Amino acid sequence: MSTASVIKGSCLCQRVQYEVTGPPKMRLLCHCDNCRKVTGSTFMANALYRKDQLRIISGEDVLKVYEDSNTESGNTTSRKFCSNCSSPLFTSRDSDPSAAEVVAITSGTMDLGPSRENWAPQAEVYCKNRREWIVPVEGTVRSEVMEAFAPSKVE
């Protein structure tokens, strides 16, 4: 691994282009109901970065934000997506001081290869909501609830 690895990413229509520099704080799967709804799939696979590691190259004008206030923790979660193609991209909790520096980026919008080295989850959260037919990923730290934005709680 080089010291300043850069990962590029985009939404489906390519209007939103971004890059992240350096390693993520955490790669995680979230099985909560809200992440299931927002992805339209079975769980959400995000990498947590410091906000200063993310650079939006283009498409800031088509990014739309949904303020998700119906969360278990009560903290409003800002969910940014491309208003042209609907890809979910960036999730943050700007009003929560413990998470203010953090942005969660959808791994599916990152231009990554299929290998485990490229992107393998380290943690799974809200496992109490996990669909029973989803097998836990080998090697992950798991929590029944745990805040997705509190990676410091995962060792």
Per CB under 5 A, residues contacting Zn ion are 11, 13, 15, 30, 32, 35, 82, 84-85
Q: Which is nearer to Zn ion, 51 or 64 (CB)?
A: 64
Cross-strand partners of 88? 81
Q: In sequence order, what E strands does the chain have?
A: 6-10, 17-21, 26-30, 44-50, 54-58, 63-68, 77-82, 88-92, 102-106, 123-125, 141-142
Taking the C-alpha atoms of residue 31 and residue 104, their distance in angstroms, rounded to an integer, is 15
Q: State the minimum distance, in angstroms, from the CB of residue 70 to Zn ion.
A: 12
Tell me how far, at minimum, the Cβ of 115 lies from Zn ion, in Å.
25
Of residues 22 and 150, the one with the C-beta less far from Zn ion:
150
Which residue number, 21 or 84, has a Cβ lying nearer to Zn ion?
84
Rounded to whole angstroms, how far apart are CA atoms 89 and 18?
10
What's the closest the beta carbon of residue 60 comes to Zn ion, in angstroms?
12
Considering beta carbons, is residue 37 or 52 the nearer one to Zn ion?
37
Phi, psi of 2 (to 5 degrees): -80, 165
Query: Closest approach of Cβ 84 to Zn ion, in Å?
Result: 4
